[in-house]
Structures are given as C-alpha cells and as structure tokens.
Amino acid sequence: MSALLKFSRLIDALNTLLGQAVYWLVLLAVLISAGNAVMRKAFDMSSNAYLEIQWYLFSVIFLLCAGYTLLKNEHVRIDIVTGRFSARTRAWIDIFGLVFFLFPTCYLFIDLGWPFVQTSFHQGEMSANPGGLIRWPIKLMVPVGFTLLALQGLSELIKRVAFLRGLIPDPLEKKQEKTAEQLLAEEIAAQARGAR
C-alpha cells in the first residue's frame, strides 16, 4: 500500500503542477479578450482567430483542471446528503462513484475522443471560419484532460482505500486554509498597524 500511496502523491503532484500552471491561461484569455475588444472598437479590426483562441483557452482550462479540481475536492458534491454519513460511509460512496461512474466516463471520452484527434491531425483540419485556427490541438485536449482526470480518480481511489484501512487521515476532510481575501485583509490590517 505504501507504493500505491507514493504513486498517488506523484499523481497529486502532477495535477497540482498543471492546475497551478493553467491559472496563467485564465489571465492570457482575459488579455486576449480585452485586446480583441479594444482592436474591434478602436480600430475596427478583428480576427476569428482571436475569438477561437479564447474558447480554445477556456476548453484547455476546463479540461486540464478537472483532475486538479478533483484533487482539491472542489467538484460538485451532494454534501447535504452525504454530510450526514460517517467518514467511512462517505469513503465507500466515493469508491463506488469512482469505479462505476468516473472511470467508465473517462474511458469513453478517451476511447471515443482519440479517433477524432487522429482524423483531425491527418486531415489538417482547420476552422471553417476565415482566419480560424487548426482544430487537432484543441481536440487533443479532450483525451488528455480525461486521462488526467482518470489518473486523479485513481489517486483518490488509493487514498480512500488507505483511509478505510486506517493508514491515512480522511482525505475528504477540508483543511481550513485562509482564502486570498482573508490573507489580503490580514496584510492590509498589519500594514495599517505598522503605519501608526
């Protein structure tokens, strides 16, 4: 089990690294969107490539952060129901959901998505819009994103089993981390005290 937990930590590290790197794509999408709006309004110039890159980036953010979201336990849950159960019961519910819902869904998206990537790549598929972008890179994000999600699901499965065996604390227990707003408020208060 210790080897599996080490493998789980590697998956967690991979999805953490990707999740934090993808944060910057949000900024990039905002800058492109703002730049496109300024160019369109101020200079009456635009390109379909700017519009397409925005939804490409949104798709990349969504797909590459799905595993990171699962790692951080920030995905949609029905806590109003499961919150009444013991930690062990919640772990069993998660195991059931991972095995019978998450893994089959990921398999379908990977298995059905890969042929679309190959076809798009071999045909050199381009957007039908004038000035549009090539399509295969964004289609590739579907199997890549679901592979990362499946890997994180495997990591979560390992953690749930380890918890049930008493080897680790409850992985669903939220650690009370301060939000960015709380940290900022504390910094402002500290600076105000220092200025006196």
Which DSSP helix (H) or strand (E) runs through 108? helix 103-123
Average pLDDT value for residue range 122-133: 87
Average pLDDT value for residue range 69-89: 84
What is the helix, strand, coil percentage profile of the chain, to 5?
A: 75, 0, 20
**Alpha carbon distance 117, 95 (integer Å):** 31
Domain count, the chain: 1
At residue 180, does pLDDT exceed 80?
A: no
> Which residues, in sequence order, are CB contacts of 180 under 8 Å at separation 6+?
none
Q: Could you give the C-alpha distances from 158 to 9, 13, 185, in angstroms and in order? A: 10, 15, 38
Is 98 within 8 Å of 156 (Cβ atoms)?
Answer: yes
Average pLDDT value for residue range 156-163: 96
Average pLDDT value for residue range 111-117: 96
Strand partners, 126: 134
How do residues 24-65 score in pLDDT, each as one tens digit? Answer: 999 999 999 999 889 888 988 878 888 899 999 999 999 999
In which band, very low, low, confident or very high, does the pLDDT at 14 lie, cut at 50, 70 and 90? very high
Residue 38's domain comprises 2-195
**Alpha carbon distance 137, 57 (integer Å):** 11
Average pLDDT value for residue range 6-31: 94
Prediction pTM value? 0.83
DSSP alpha helix (H) spans, 45-102: 48-64, 66-71, 79-82, 87-97
